[in-house]
Structure formats: structure tokens, C-alpha cells
Structure 1
């Protein structure tokens, strides 16, 4: 399979815990957002297109901030997520203001991609190794019943500033996912990683592989997911906080036996912004990478061509 893959970026989140629009905030030494590093790595590993999933009311401002940087480097498209997207005219509670999460966002890309794709969060730094391995999988291995998830070690994905949610991965001998258990209240305490979900305390293994929402799919996954979304809405349409999440939908797919999901271990260092206090650490890490010449100080410096690898 020689089709150039697409990168889909989830950038429609409201960032309630962060207290601002972290998707478009400058973190890099040249004023870059975090997602620009992902796009840079995608371009130099051979991705041909990027699709941004955003809220439509921010489209004009978003395009003004990003498009001039990417012009001539990669094809750009947009998908818009709102609470009403794919609702089939269902009436939701007036108290519900947020859309239904990451899998719902990906569903909003239906019809936008016809080639294998990777999907990531806008506010996470994933690293070159992860994109390089994802591109290899997307161009050489992926099938309509074989997908992939980039696996990161839990110890490298937690925040010292509050609780986070992580998809805990269980694998078989073939490094394929047996289950993805979404852990929603993970904290750091006295050097230990603890899950507080359902009012129970459990110490977690620091080396456990977790999903950071970096998946590799074909468009068939979106088609399959659409029916699951309507099933989800039939049960959860009146819920105020319940979400339709990619790891949970992927877990359903595995359990039905309709597809396998391979875990691709990466030695890339992950970091991201969940809380406002994370911002200083992210800026420090990106500066270190620039000082080490892993990335240019200005990613889009016209005097520094992006070398395809």
C-alpha cells in the first residue's frame, strides 16, 4: 500500500481543566503550538494531508494562525465537531454543552479521508520516533481489520498537577491489544502512580503501556464507529458528562473480533498540557529539543528546508 497517509488532529476540546485554548497557545521557542511539532514530524516522515477537527466558530481564527505556516508543505482540510453533529435530530439536555468526546470528533471526519490515517490530540507532544513508526505501519502493514496504537509507558504520561485519564493496554503474545481499560483518576503521590477511580485506591505499574490517543486506522473504522455512536446516544443522550471515546470504541472492536489492534512501542518522550501548571514544563522540554537541534528554533524557517526521511 503506497498511499500517503493522513494525519487527523483532535483540536475541538474545550480544555476546561486547563482554563484556556491550549490547542492554539504558543509553547515552542519560535512561538509554535504543540500540534505544530506533530505536523512537522508528520511532514518529514511522509504524511500527505492534515485534517483539523475544530469547532466551526473558531475556524476563521484557527486558519489565520496555522495556514500560512503550512502552505506548500502539506494539504490541509477541516472537520467541524458540535454537540449536534451526527445527532439524527435527537434533542439533548439544555445543560449539556460539550460534544461527546474523541470518537465523536473522529466520526465528524466521515467523508474527509479515503486513505489510512493517524489520529492524535492537538495538545500532546508525541515525538519523531512515534510518527516514523506510525508512517511505516500505515504504508506497509495496515488493513481494514488490522489497526495500531502507539504505546507509551505510564510513568512518562502523568502530571504532578492533578488527575489524568489514560487508556491502560493489555496485550497478548503477539503484541496485539486484548483490552483497553480507560482509567480516569490517575494521580502521582509520594513517587507512586495511583488510580482513584470509583473511590478505590490502586497502585499502578509505572511501566504499563497506555494509549495517548495516537491510533492508526483505515476509513472503515469510522464507518464501523457510526453505528456504535447511535447505540451510545440511545443510552447516554441525557448524560451531562459521559463521552464517546476512541479507546473505548477500539476496545469494543477488539472484543467483537472484527479487528485486531497492534501495539507499536515507541521510545519517544511524551509530554502535554492538561493543567495550566504543565505549560512551563512543556516550554522547557521544547526548548531543550531545539537546543539539541532535534527541531529548528523556528519550525517553519524558510531557510531550513524540511527533509523527508
Structure 2
């Protein structure tokens, strides 16, 4: 069974300052996401599903989707502030501008997922080996399996010099995830160290921690855990204007509750991505290097 690629592309891009998912970085106006889909297609994935906002649909189609759809089975679904909310919940959450988070995004795409699937962010570069390894693992699973997986990265390989990053800090034993906690503001200190700013206070990190970059591999069975997790989150946070239902936290709770396992496939790839406007130059340079080395063709798609 060929796995599906599920792309989280509905983020507002507040730190980047624009719709970074469709910003050109390749030599023929390819986006960073083009490179990820190219890697997935060549790693055995059979379909790609994008989660987007309605207001970027026209630009998204013109800048990315129509090209992808000529080269791979593709569709997109919408995530909006009133998706998966009752009329009463919509009223209670009036005034909210921030998306509901990555668990909410996954549930918006639930009906489009028919096979084991990989989740990725639209604005991160993960490396081809990650798609190959996770794709091979998922292709062996049936839809009811509870033995999920993720690709973990070394924290120091995923930091940005432009500002803070959000990462899920993982505890791993015998290649299996034990716990995972989303840290939404990790950054370098003035002396070159790394610190995570948490509600309970600042915590120093070594840089060697294994972190989640939202590169997960699930079977459709995972929705049996994520649906009630989302419902409980709404009950507690429906009036909170900035609370987010985050994938690392939901996946971590699934493991802690014994509803599934997550095998950690550790990658030594060095991340780059488009979190801040300053990052675009770095992304362009890194991709140029890979093209010059023959890792990617100068033009990704023939059509």
C-alpha cells in the first residue's frame, strides 16, 4: 500500500510576514514544498493532500497545486476557524484570529486519508532519506495498525539564527517514543547556548535532544485518538484566543495512554526552512548547492 503525504500548509506565516508556502525558491520558481513533494513521489508515495486556507486557494493553485497535480495524484482540503465547531462553539470563539493548530488541521483532512500517511510542514526541508525511511515503514502497515512512527532530528541541526523555533522535545528509549512535549520558543542565547522558554520557566538545552519537526507517520487508526483529544481541547479552550491543539502533544498523549506506539527513526539531516523572512536567502543557497551537486535536477518537474 503506497502511503499518502499530508502537508500542513494553512499556517498564517505571522513570523515570516507572508504566504511562505508558495514563495519561489527554486531555479524555475519552485517552492520549498515542490522539493518535498518531489522527494516523496520518488520515495514511493502515491498521493499528496494539502491542507490550506480558503483565502490562499487561487494563489496556491497558480503557484503550486496545478503543477503538482500534473505530476502526482493530488488534492487539497480547507482548514478554517469554524471547521469542526458547532454553531455554539463558533459563537463562543468569536474574535479568534489564530488557527486552531495542527491536530485540528489533521482532522480537517480526515476524510481524504485512505492509507497510512506522513505529515509534514509546508515550510520545512526534511531531506530525502526521511521520506524514504518513513515511507518504507508505512508501506508495511495496514490501516488499523497502532504502530506509528516519526522522524526525529537532533535539535542543534534544526535551529534558526533568525529567531526562535518551535520543536517537540522527545524522550526516547530503545528507538520508541516515551514522551513528547511541544516547546514553542527555543532560541540561542547570547553566549551560543540554547534555551527553551516555557510557562514553568526557562530551561537550558544541550542541543543533542531528539526533537519532532512534525514529520510523523500514522495509520488512519490514529484518528480514534485525535478526535477525542480535539473534543477535550475544545471543551477547555473554546474561549482562549491563542490556544492551539498541537500534534506533538496529542501524539505524546496517545503514547502515554497506551493507545498506540511511535517508533523514532532518527535523522542526521540538517534542517532549513522558511520561518522568518531572513531564512529565504539561506533556503535558496542550500537548494542551489544541492542542484549543483546533482541531488536535484535544475528543473524538478517536466510538466
Under TM normalisation by the shorter chain, which class is it?
Answer: over 0.9
Closer/same/farther in 2, CA of residues 194 and 285 from structure 1, 3 Å limit: same
Q: CA deviation at 1:27?
A: 1.3
Aligned residues: 299
Give the Cα separation in 1 of the matches to 2:109 and 2:154. 29
Of residues 47-56 and 260-269 in structure 1, the stretch that sits farther from structure 2 once superposed is: 260-269
Rounded Cα–Cα distance in structure 2 between residues aligned with 1:30 and 1:60: 20
**Mapped partners of 2:68, 2:16: distance in 1:** 27
Task: State the Cα RMSD in Å.
Answer: 1.5
After TM superposition, the structure 1 stretch with the greater mean CA deviation from structure 2, 70-79 or 232-241, is 70-79
Match runs of 1:68-217 below 5 Å: 68-89=66-87, 90=89, 91-141=91-141, 144-173=145-174, 175-189=175-189, 190-198=191-199, 200-217=201-218
How far apart in 2 are the matches of 1:283 and 1:185? Answer: 25
Superposed, which structure 2 residues align to 1:1-309 within 5 Å? 3-89=1-87, 90=89, 91-141=91-141, 144-173=145-174, 175-189=175-189, 190-198=191-199, 200-301=201-302
Shift of 1:140: 2.0
- TM-score (ref. length: structure 2): 0.94
List gaps (5 residues or longer) in structure 1.
303-309
SS in 2 for 1:187: strand
Which structure 2 segments of 5+ residues have no match? none
Per-residue displacement from partner, 1:272-297 (whole Å, max 9, x unpaired)?
A: 11111111111111111111110011
Query: CA shift at 1:141, angstroms?
Result: 4.8
Distance in 1, matches of 2:223 and 2:156, equals 31
Deviations 1:225-256 (A, max 9, x none): 11211111011001111100110000110110
Given that residues 180 and 248 in structure 1 are in contact (C-alpha distance below 8 angstroms), is that contact kept between their aligned partners in structure 2? yes
Cα gap change, 1:72 to 1:25, in 2 (>3 Å): closer
| In structure 2, distance between residues paired with 1:110 and 1:211 | 22
- Preserved CA contact (<8 Å) 1:128 1:268: no
Distance 1:248 1:46, change over 3 A: same
Which segments of structure 1 move beyond 4 Å, counting only runs of 4 or more? none
Is 1:176–1:260's contact at 8 Å kept on the other side of the alignment? yes
Structure 1: how far apart are the matches of 2:113 and 2:200? 41
TM-score (norm 1): 0.93
- Please give the alpha-carbon distance, in whole angstroms, between the structure 2 residues aligned to 1:81 and 1:87: 12
**Structure 2 CA distance for aligned equivalents of residues 22 and 122 of structure 1:** 9
1: CA distance, partners of 2:200 / 2:116: 40
Deviation at 1:199, TM superposition (A): 6.8
